[in-house]
Amino acid sequence: MQEWYRTPLGQALEQVELTAVRDCLTTLFGYHLLSVAPPWQADPLDSSRVQHRVVQTPEAIPGRTGLVSANDVWPVSSDSLDVILLPHVLEFAAEPHQILREAERCLIPEGHLVIVGFNPWGIWGGRSLLTRWRGRLPWCGRFLGVARLRDWLALLGFDTLAVQPLLYRLPVNHAGLLERTRFLDQLEAVNHIPGNAGFLLLARKRVVGMTPIRPRWRPRRRFLSPGVIEPTRRG
């Protein structure tokens, strides 16, 4: 995916996604934020107000610090994270439910989950269906619709707070054509046309049962599971 994001089409999508993620993260607070396998060249976490920000990847990346772990099993303590960012992780997972279960396990009550995904409907979804057999990214992924994600999240105890559609340009890798169809993004803002390339979904973990009275002081939560060495602090 990192290679695909260097193409003209990937760069057009990245620009829109990073803007949406940064805008979303500025509204979320807490102690610990985990970003799982981000595919972008730039880092949107610089806009977050969360104190401790960590990136987790399935393989070590030269020159970058963070957690190295599989996407579906995290070396993170339960009820320890305030914000989790899942950018295009679910579409390429063998068991997307397991990743969502990990997110539910690791988030504190009222913690927030930010999902960035591809829309299975419209032109982008149509291209995925027609060319999936070729095995090329990102079209070989299993695009998940917002309605399905809402249902899965509700079963896990999440409330979906907002869904933002992203990018309306044609799924073609031609810089000139992408630039000429930029007007489609502005047209959607006025007419709310269907067919967006992707979306950003913001959900919050529901509080189950009665909420105890919290003390005025709050002990520092442990972020990593016992036995895991904590990575170098990010920005």
Mean pLDDT of the chain: 84
d(C-alpha 99, C-alpha 72), whole Å: 5
Cis upstream peptide for 231 (omega within 30°):
no
Per-residue model confidence as pLDDT tens digits over 163-199? 999 988 787 776 666 666 665 666 555 545 567 889 9
Looking at residue 169, what is its pLDDT?
77
CA angle 226, 51, 60 (to 5 degrees): 55
Q: Which of 41-45, 131-135, 225-229 has the lowest mean pLDDT?
A: 225-229
For residue 91, which of 61, 130, 120, 57 has the smallest C-alpha distance?
Answer: 120
Query: What residues have CB less than 8 Å from 127, skipping those under 6 apart?
Result: 139, 171
115: confidence class by pLDDT, cuts 50, 70, 90: very high
